[in-house]
Structure 1
Amino acid sequence: MTDPLAPWQQRAHDQALASLADGRLGHALLVCGPARLGKRAVAERLAAHLLDAHMPRAAHLIAAGTHPDFTVVTLQPNREGTRLRTEIVIEQIRELSEKLSLTSQYGGAQVAIVDPADALNASAANALLKTLEEPQPGRYLWLIASNPARLPATIRSRCQRLELRLPPRDEALAWLRASGHADKAAVEALDAARGHPGLADAWLRDGGLQLRKDVAGDLARLARGDAAPIETAQRWVADEDAALRLRHAADLALAEAAGLTDPARIRKLARWFDAANRTRDLLRTTVRADLAVAELLLAWRGDEVQRAGTGSRTYR
């Protein structure tokens, strides 16, 4: 909580703070923008500002998750405790609504964050709508969403919007360098992330950039017929990075489509992009992951071999 905000986060924070000072910040706020831009950090910093007047140690308590007037609703572990659920459920929202109906512990504001709000299931969304329709003084409900279009229009219409946007390239590079990344690596990662500094930073820290290169190499070998789809699929799903590999694969297809002018080829890549994302969703089900990924890679190789046979550029 005490770390400085990134420049694009600071702009969003200052915008909301100005609205708060002018009395223009309502009880419901939708904080949106691409994933990994720091929306939660901005929301928590705003919460600390609101709550600090009644509890000077608010920022530290929020960071520790122990502030009695600050609540976060997020994805919970499944029954087995092996992974997080994919939805926020109605019981969580009912518990939140009950807490917001109680008196503040420190006699001031109460702040609740729902993150990710775009993971609310239908029942939870309906319950949240009732809470939004009956605002109470001093209660602030902030929704964080990377895909706000997934929220019902009835919820979006009741929220003010605070949007975080990708920063200018120079600003993003300066931030990556200040975060300790070498210039060459920062440039390479930012280019691969298409200007997204948060994503570039994460890839540089957790090896995601190398994983992306490995996925690109696999797709190129499949296109040339130098790799077998089934064996490649088995390797892709053999560890915890299976979903991330598919995310990279989909993104690489999208990046290739962005540089093309052939409408037919663009449509094929768009369909494969959708298929890659559907396959990634299947990893959370009981479907055999290796077979689902193998089917996807067979479709990639079949299309790429046909294209190579016509003299078109092969995937790189």
Structure 2
Amino acid sequence: MTGPFAPWQQRAYDHAVAALDVGRLGHGLLLCGPAGLGKRAIADRLARHVLSGGQADGVGRDLQLIQAGTHPDLTVVSFIPTRDGTKLRTEIVIEQIRELSQKLSLTPQYGRAQVAIIDPADAVNNAGWNALLKTLEEPQPGRYLWLLSANPMRLPATIRSRCQSLEVRLPPRAEALAWLAAQDYPESAAAEALDAARGHPGLALSWMAEGGMALRREVAADLGKLERGQLQVVETAQRWANDDHASLRLRFAADLVLAQAADPALTDPARLNKLAAWFDTANRTRDLLRTTVRADLAMVDLLLAWRDGVRGSATGGTG
């Protein structure tokens, strides 16, 4: 999320600044909540506030250096390239944490404070957490360590217990719809996207802006045609697997099937059971996409199960 703060971001930021200004914001802060709600933007603005001494959220030299990513007292730890430089690592490793801890032990170059942001904290490996523990246990004055996480329960309990928690929550539906409408989307489109995103305005906005809602309607049409025998399974599986949207297609497919199962008008126990089983299979297949399994073959198995199993229960067959 970019641009002006959304209301839920502003609430979290105001809460953190109020705690900071009265000396109640500790050394370690766990900024958590669903991905896509703008936690990093909150951390970045809070860093501006801290490093500028509270002057208008960052002015002059501090603001220019922060915007350029060159402020000597602001460190962001995230994914770095692999040794061959062809892609990014999938975890934050101990060498990065050791370098961070060493930097936090030094005097701030501009004399106010030092801020370190780990994003995403979920990606720190076990060795990295062990290296970071001492830094959290023995904080020095004017040092701030902020962990950003969409899945805070994945962090070790020893880490969570040493951090204050600031949760960025999904906003009320009316607030989310008003915010989406302010992005110049029709109310009906915003409501459809927000429902598809289960109340998550950041996801809803990205799906509207990047074609996600059109993809969702395509997935729904494909499932219907497969169930009626109007599409070939192998061709459909290859189309679903052979671009960058395979995981999102499976997410949409699982959500659409879950909505069918939740329909009060559906009272056939056999179909309910098959829909529930297929929902689980779709999510497992989505997980398989992160492995070396061939995506098209995994999709074929899933869509065969949909065509034969679910259609069979709908028409009275055994599946």
Equivalent position of 1:219 in the other structure: 223
Q: 2:206 touches 2:212 (CA, 8 Å); kept in 1?
A: yes
Equivalent position of 1:42 in the other structure: 42
Which whole-Å deviations, capped at 9, do the CAs of 1:199-242 have from their partners, x for residues lacking one? 11111111111111112222222233332332212111211222
Q: How many angstroms does 1:198 deviate by?
A: 0.6
Q: 2:274 touches 2:313 (CA, 8 Å); kept in 1?
A: no
Q: 1:45 touches 1:59 (CA, 8 Å); kept in 2?
A: no
> Equivalent residue of 1:142, what SS?
strand
* Aligned counterparts, 1:76-155, within 5 A: 76-79=80-83, 81-155=85-159
Equivalent position of 1:10 in the other structure: 10
Of 247-256 and 198-207, deviating more is: 247-256
Which whole-Å deviations, capped at 9, do the CAs of 1:9-61 have from their partners, x for residues lacking one? 10111111111122111111111111111111111111111011297333443
> Equivalent residue of 1:77, what SS?
coil
Equivalent position of 1:314 in the other structure: none
Equivalent position of 1:241 in the other structure: 245
Equivalent position of 1:293 in the other structure: 299
CA distance in 2, matches of 1:78, 1:257: 44
Q: 1:243 touches 1:283 (CA, 8 Å); kept in 2?
A: yes
Amino acid at match of 2:19: S
CA distance in 1, matches of 2:273, 2:167: 30
Q: How many angstroms does 1:80 deviate by?
A: 5.0
CA distance in 1, matches of 2:190, 2:214: 13
Amino acid at match of 2:12: A
CA distance in 1, matches of 2:108, 2:273: 54
Q: 1:169 touches 1:195 (CA, 8 Å); kept in 2?
A: yes
CA distance in 1, matches of 2:3, 2:190: 21
Q: 1:72 touches 1:114 (CA, 8 Å); kept in 2?
A: yes
Equivalent position of 1:73 in the other structure: 77
Of 172-181 and 300-309, deviating more is: 300-309
Which whole-Å deviations, capped at 9, do the CAs of 1:76-135 have from their partners, x for residues lacking one? 334454543322222221221122122211111111111111122222222222322221
Q: 1:188 to 1:51 in 2, by over 3 A?
A: same
Q: 1:84 to 1:213 in 2, by over 3 A?
A: farther
Q: 1:32 to 1:258 in 2, by over 3 A?
A: farther
What stretches of structure 1 of length at least 5 have no aligned partner? Answer: 312-316
> Equivalent residue of 2:36, what SS?
coil
CA distance in 2, matches of 1:294, 1:80: 34
Which whole-Å deviations, capped at 9, do the CAs of 1:232-272 have from their partners, x for residues lacking one? 12111211222222232233344444446878766655554
Q: 1:85 to 1:270 in 2, by over 3 A?
A: farther
Amino acid at match of 1:29: L
CA distance in 2, matches of 1:275, 1:305: 16
CA distance in 2, matches of 1:274, 1:253: 10
Q: TM-score scaled to structure 2, two decimals?
A: 0.87
Among the aligned pairs, what percent are the same residue? Answer: 68
- RMSD of Structure 2 on Structure 1 (CA): 2.6
> Equivalent residue of 2:117, what SS?
strand
Q: TM-score scaled to structure 1, two decimals?
A: 0.88
Q: 1:119 to 1:210 in 2, by over 3 A?
A: same
* Aligned counterparts, 1:249-264, within 5 A: 249-259=253-263
CA distance in 1, matches of 2:106, 2:278: 50
Q: 1:233 touches 1:294 (CA, 8 Å); kept in 2?
A: yes
Q: 2:271 touches 2:310 (CA, 8 Å); kept in 1?
A: no
CA distance in 1, matches of 2:305, 2:83: 36
> Equivalent residue of 1:5, what SS?
coil
Equivalent position of 1:20 in the other structure: 20
Matched, 1:33 2:37: no
Q: 1:190 touches 1:197 (CA, 8 Å); kept in 2?
A: yes
Pick from 169, 176, 183 the counterpart of residue 173 of structure 2. Answer: 169
> Equivalent residue of 2:31, what SS?
strand
Q: 1:244 to 1:18 in 2, by over 3 A?
A: same
How many residue pairs are counted as aligned between the two chains? Answer: 311
CA distance in 2, matches of 1:94, 1:290: 41
Q: How many angstroms does 1:159 deviate by?
A: 1.1
